[in-house]
Amino acid sequence: MEAGARQLASRSAGVLGTPFVAADVGGTHARVGLVRPYASTRPTLERYEKYVCADYPSLSAILHEFLKSLDGAAVQEAAIACAGYCLDGTIINTNLPWTVSLDRIRADLNLSTVEFVNDFEAVAHATPHLDLRDTTLLTQAGAQQLSAPTLIVGPGTGLGAAVRIPTSGGYVVLATEAGQAAFAPSTDREIEVLRLLRRNSSHVSIEQVLSGPGLVKLHAALCELRGTTRLLDSPADITRAALDEGDVAARDTLDMFCGLMGSVLGDLVLLYGAQGGAYLAGGILPQIKPYLVESSFVERFLDKGAMRPVLERVPVRLIEHGQLGVLGAASWYLQHRASA
C-alpha cells in the first residue's frame, strides 16, 4: 500500500458502516478498491487492484472479478468515478471502450446501490487529505491560500478538471468538462498544428492535444510539418524515445506538450479564480516529471501578461499517487452517504 493511502487511513478510529467498492475508471485502466469507512470519514483501502479496460467486455465484468477476489466479503454498495456526465443512469464518455450503465451494473452484480461521481471531482475530494510527500512543487509560489478555490487538472486518456471551493462548512467541488473547451494556440508552431488538426474537425478541443491520444496527435502533426515520416504511434513510445533515446521529433513533441500544459493550466487558474493552488494529476505527467520540470511549463503558466504577478503566487504541485482516484471516490461517497 502506498504511503499516501496509509496517511488517509485512520485506523485508530471506530469503523463506520459496512465496506463498499470504490472504482476509478479511465479509458485505459480501471482501479478498484475495497473501502472500509472509519469514524473520521477518511477511508482506507483493504484491497486494491488495477485492470486493463480493453481486456474486459464491460465494467460489470471487471467489478465481478474484483468481488470474486474478496473471499466472501459482503458488499452491497459501489461508488464509480469516471470522466463525463451521467444522464438517466448512463455515463456519457467518449474514451471508454464500452457503455457504462449504473442500472446494468446494479443488476449484474446484485448490488443495492451504485453511484457515479466525475473522476476529477473525486480527486478533488481526496486532495485535502493528500500527504505533500506524494507531490512535487513545480513553481516558486509561497504557501497555499486555504480560503481560495483549488484547481485539479490531469491529462490521461482525456483531460479532466475540477475545482474545490471552500465554504463556511467545509468545501464543495465543481466538476467540469474543461478538456472539451477549444484549443487556443499561443505560438506560431501551435497555430500550424491547429490548422492541421482542423482538417478532421471544426472543433479541436484541449484534450485533443493534452492527453495520451493528444500526445500522439501532436507528434503526427509535428512530423508532418517537419516533412518526416511518423514512426511512433503510442504515448509510451514517444516518451521513451524522447527521454531515453534523444529522438529529436519525440523531444519536440514533449516540448510542445509541456508548454501547452503550462499555458492551459494558467488559463484555467484565471478562469476559475484558483488562487488556492493547482494540482496536476493523471498518468502521463509523473512519467515525464524530470522533463516537465526543465521544460517551458512554468514560464508558459506565468506568461499571461498583466496577470503574471497573480499567477506567481499560485503553488502548482504534481501529484504522484496512483490510488488517489479510488480514495477520492471513497471520500466523495462517504460524504454523499452521510448527507443522504
pLDDT digits (tens, 9 = 90+) for 83-107: 878 888 999 887 788 999 999 999 9
pLDDT along the chain (340 residues), means of 10: 40 59 92 80 82 96 95 88 87 86 96 92 85 88 84 90 90 90 96 96 95 95 92 92 91 97 98 95 88 97 97 94 87 83
| CATH number for 57 | 3.30.420.40
Does this model's pTM top 0.75? yes
Could you tell me if residue 126 is inside a domain? no
Q: Is residue 172 part of a domain?
A: yes
Considering the domain boundaries, does residue 222 fall inside one? Answer: yes
Q: What range does the domain containing 48 cover? A: 3-117+326-339
Question: For the segment 135-186, what is each residue's pLDDT rounded down to a tens digit?
Answer: 999 998 877 787 899 999 999 888 989 999 999 888 899 988 899 999 999 9
Question: 208 and 311: one domain?
Answer: yes
Q: Are residues 136 and 258 in the same domain?
A: yes
Do the domain assignments include residue 145?
Answer: yes
Q: Is 129 helix (H, G, I), strand (E, B) or coil?
A: helix
Q: State which H helix or E strand residue 35 sits in.
A: strand 29-36
Amino acid present at 143: A
Q: 215 and 75: one domain?
A: no
The CATH number assigned to the domain holding 280 equals 3.40.367.20
Q: Where are the strands (E) in 93-169, listed by range?
A: 113-118, 135-137, 150-155, 159-167
Which residue type occupies 51?
A: Y
Q: Are residues 167 and 78 both part of a single domain?
A: no
Whether 254 is covered by a domain: the verdict is yes
Are 45 and 180 found together in one domain? no
Residue 100 lies in a domain: yes
Can you tell me the distance from the alpha carbon of 177 to that of 95, in angstroms, rounded to the nearest whole number? 13
Q: Are residues 174 and 302 in the same domain?
A: yes
Whether residue 45 is found in the same domain as residue 189: no
Number of domains within the chain = 2
Would 123 be classed as within a structural domain?
A: no
